[in-house]
Amino acid sequence: MSYNISEKVLAELESIVGKENISYSKIDLIAYSRDWSIVTAIKGYPPDVVVKPKSSTEISQIMQLANREKIPVVPWGGGTGMSGGAIAIQGGIVIDMRGLNRIIEIDEENLVVVAQTGITVHRLNNELEKHGLWWPHDPESKHTSTLGGAIACDNIGTFGTKYGGIIDYLLAIEVVLPTGEIVKIGSKAPFSVSGYPLHLLFIGSEGTLGIITEATLRVYKKPEYRCVELVAFSSLSDAIKSCLQIITLGMDPESINIMAKEGLIYYTRLYKEKFGVIPKIPEDVEAVVAFSFAGSRELSEFQRKLALDVCVKFGGTIIEEPEIVSSFWAEKHTLEYAPQMNPWFISAMKGRYLGIDLCCPLSKVRHLHETYRKLLSKYGLEPASGFFMLCKRIKFSPNCVFTVNVNDSPEEVRKAQEFICELAEYAVKLGGTVSSSRGVGAAPTRNLLYKEHSPEALTLMRKLKRMLDPNNIMNPGKKFPCEA
């Protein structure tokens, strides 16, 4: 959809960001028309103009102009979104945030970093590493995805079990509101009950309430040692029980990941390279638990042994092949692949990978998993890497990811959308949510919000949105059901 921005407005935009930081050339616009989501599977949505501001002041001026002219504004971080959040589905102005990529302060003593949000997660960590620190938010897209994207989509990372999610890191933000005000919320104080914690409102806001331009984060000392283990189980329930027991006994794993058998097959690449065959995975394996401990060698090793004992007691079989463990850890954390062996690209040769993030009470996970299996058969879809659970919040609060492989034919995309909605609706019935991570964006699940939230809650959300964004310029068509 084209918004037809007038030449006068384009000239004003140019005067704000400078000639070299604006483009409305067709080729530049097409390059911003797609992301990783099913939203852009069949066609792309080019914006009308792309701008690359360098400061929150410039963003504020852009917002004032867009608000005056009622032009949609869509922030773009790394463009790796899986829900269409950064796609200008109604046209308008795409703001490429990667020009705001400075680290403002690294406070080693207080373990706090202040950075602009266009910095990639990886670069932020590279800089922190020079001070012996790290931000343990660790998505697989970290080389490309930005700090702003992580906050706005309330993303998951490998180390959530120990360090939590965005809410556990975020101390303060600077945000530019749709009406142009630049607002600083929060401070370096580890806790505060004075006023409302408004910065938390912007976590998972997906660019619908404003543009987060700066963030103050809790960071940690980089652990000196790490050990990783994989254990196979013949029952998902036993896998979950052993993880709960690990936590109950007071152990402190930095990551816990439970995956289905299909997921394990993804991690046999190194083994195959070395031995020429895929390792034999016993028929009865239903789930695999992967965990890691980090910190001092002594403590990590002690916990590792204890955790393995727990798993074995629950019927687990330790996966001894180091090649499988290394492959798994390469995909989860190090991302060290041999040249031209990027596994996502290789899997994309077969189909579009869709990860549907749902969350439900722990006791219902098995039901949700069974329904996922049934729906795969009903719709005739492939499971991609199957199902996995990753702790998004501290301790064992798993985010469930159900994966599907979709070829981009209109028929299969339609089937996949129906599949996603049916599964998400079932998650709500079990007391869960239609989206527990990566945002809702323009995904079909946004139309199910009324299933999950009460009418009063939705009304309050809409009121808040209108109060902050009276002309609905911020990422319109996202997050809320279609009519909003």
Partner 1 sequence: MRLADFKNEIRACIRCRCGFCQEECPSFKLFKLESYSSRGRLTLAWAVLNQELQPTMTLAENLFKCLMCKYCSLRCGTDIVLITRAFRAELIERGLVPAKIGEFLENIHKYGNPFKETREKKGKWLKELGIDYFTPNHEFLYYIGCIGSYDLRGQNMAKALAEILLKANISFGCLGADEFCSGGEALMLGESGLFQQLAEENIKKFKELGVKKIVTLCPHCYYTIKNEYPSFGGKFEVLHYTQLLSDILKNGKLKLSKKINAKVTYHDPCFLGRYSGDYESPRQILKSTPGIELVEMERARENSYCCGGGCGNFYTGFINGSQNSPSRARVREAHSTGAEILAVSCPHCMIMLEDAVKTEELENKLLVKDISQIILDAI
User: In 3D, which of 42, 33, 36 has the Cα closest to residue 414?
Assistant: 42
Interface with partner 1 includes 304 (CB under 8 A)? Answer: no
List binders of partner 1 among 143-202 (CB under 8 A).
Answer: 143-144
* Nearest-approach distance from CB 286 to partner 1, in angstroms: 28
Our finding on whether 221 is near partner 1 (CB under 8 A) is no
Could you tell me which stretch among 21-29, 150-158, 318-326, 441-449 binds partner 1 (CB under 8 A)? 21-29
Give min distance, CB of 13 to partner 1, in A. 15
In the complex with partner 1, which residue's Cβ is closer, 275 or 344? 344
Binding part of the chain for partner 1, among 18-26, 177-185, 374-382, 455-463 by CB under 8 A, reads 18-26
Whether 386 contacts 405, CB under 8 Å = no
According to the binding rule CB under 8 A, does residue 41 interact with partner 1?
A: yes
346 binds partner 1 (CB under 8 A): yes
Residue with smaller CB distance to partner 1, 34 or 333:
34
14 binds partner 1 (CB under 8 A): no
10 Å Cβ neighbour count for 214? 21
CA distance 310 to 86: 43
Q: Which stretch binds partner 1 (CB under 8 A): 31-39, 210-218, 242-250, 444-452?
A: 31-39
Selected from 162, 218, 304, 352, the binder of partner 1 by CB under 8 A is 352
Backbone angles phi, psi at 407, to 5 degrees: -80, 160
- Which residues does residue 318 pair with via DSSP β-bridges, in sequence order? 231
Quote the DSSP letter at residue 332.
I
For residues 211 and 182, what is the distance between their CA atoms, to the nearest angstrom? 9
Tokens of 359: 């969350």
Contact predicate 105/171, CB 8 Å: no
Q: Which residues pair with 220 in a beta bridge?
A: 134
Q: Which stretch in 8-16, 314-322, 325-333, 337-345 sits in contact with partner 1 by CB under 8 A?
A: 337-345
Q: Give CA–CA dist 74/77, Å, rounded.
A: 10
The secondary element (H helix, E strand) that includes residue 123 is helix 121-129
Start-to-end CA distance of the chain, whole Å, equals: 18
What's the token pair of residue 341? 């062996």
Using CB under 8 A as the binding rule, whether residue 98 contacts partner 1 is answered as yes
Considering the rule CB under 8 A, would residue 351 count as an interface residue with partner 1?
A: yes
Q: Which stretch binds partner 1 (CB under 8 A): 94-102, 193-201, 306-314, 430-438?
A: 94-102
Q: Give the one residue of 17, 24, 45, 52 binding partner 1; rule: CB under 8 A.
A: 52
Of 348, 410, 414, 466, which lies in the binding site for partner 1, with binding defined by CB under 8 A? 348
Enter the tokens of residue 471: 């002309």
Q: Which residues lie closer than 8 Å to 375 by C-beta, 6 or more apart?
A: 381, 419, 422, 423
Q: Which of 119, 173, 112 is nearest to 149 (CA)?
A: 119
Q: Of 36, 159, 233, 314, which lies in the binding site for partner 1, with binding defined by CB under 8 A? A: 36
- Positions touching partner 1 (CB under 8 A) are 23, 25-28, 30-36, 41, 44, 50, 52, 78-80, 96, 98-99, 120, 122, 141, 143-144, 339-349, 351-353, 408
